[in-house]
Amino acid sequence: MWPFSRSPRNDRQFSISDVLPFIAAPQAEKAVELQSLDIRVVVSGLYAETTQIMRFYNPNTRDLEGTLTFPLPDDAVVCGYTLDVEGKMIDGVVVPKQEARRILEAEERKGVDPGLVEKVQGNVYRTRIYPVPAKGTRRVGITYVNDLTIEGDDAAYHLPLSHAEKIENVSLRVEVIQAPVKPNLSGGVGKLTLNQWEDRWVRLFP
């Protein structure tokens, strides 16, 4: 069984102090807003790969430089990062820390956003976003993998999103590949069922 939850659980993998991803921009008169969240989850075996595309809106009248901070499950490992450049999502590249520092300094001298992600504490990550255009949006994508929670013969994936209720647009796609039995979805998304398609079970929300 693969329960899928949008509501908090005692055994969930996120900290009790969860916050939504946010962009801190000290020079902003109005806070940069998390306008939409597009989530895709692919469960295969005892692992899950989750991709979150975040769209931020800058309500201010000037371009901003900000720092994006986002929490991940305790056992999650980042395996992908994308940033929109002129409307296209461009993949980031994993490089050693010393090389990342050299790239950061070189790109900052050119006034370019180097798109580097760093782990700051626990399993909280941070990256600089520049520019966040005035009265415009910027998209950032994060992909991570983590283990399912095992209880006896059951395996579960939990995605607490009750703290995301104020986001204007939230979309969700769940795929469970080659499951031996039909997975179950449960939690605060209403009564949902998965539909079988080729070698997987799929559900879109909304």
The string of pLDDT tens digits covering residues 19-75 is 678 899 999 999 999 999 999 999 998 999 999 999 999 999 999 999 999 888 888
Task: Round to whole Å and give the CA distance between 153 and 151.
Answer: 6
Q: Is residue 16 part of a domain?
A: no
Q: Is residue 4 part of a domain?
A: no
Full pLDDT tens readout for the chain, 206 residues: 233 333 333 333 444 345 678 899 999 999 999 999 999 999 998 999 999 999 999 999 999 999 999 888 888 888 899 999 888 998 876 565 566 667 666 665 555 555 677 777 778 888 888 889 999 999 999 999 999 988 888 888 888 776 677 788 989 899 999 877 788 877 655 556 788 888 888 987 77
Give the H/E segment covering residue 143. Answer: strand 137-147
Task: Round to whole Å and give the CA distance between 6 and 21.
Answer: 16
Q: Is residue 6 part of a domain?
A: no
Count of domains in the chain?
1
Structure confidence at residue 15 (pLDDT): 45
Domain containing residue 109: 22-205
Tell me the whole-structure pTM to 2 decimals.
Answer: 0.80
CATH number reported for the structural domain that contains residue 162 in this entry: 2.60.40
What are phi and psi for residue 103, nearest 5 degrees? -65, -45
Longest CA–CA span in the chain (Å) reads: 55
Structure confidence at residue 52 (pLDDT): 94
Q: Is residue 73 part of a domain?
A: yes
Q: Is residue 15 part of a domain?
A: no
Q: Is residue 116 part of a domain?
A: yes
Q: Is residue 148 part of a domain?
A: yes
Written as six digits, the tokens of 37 are 């969240």
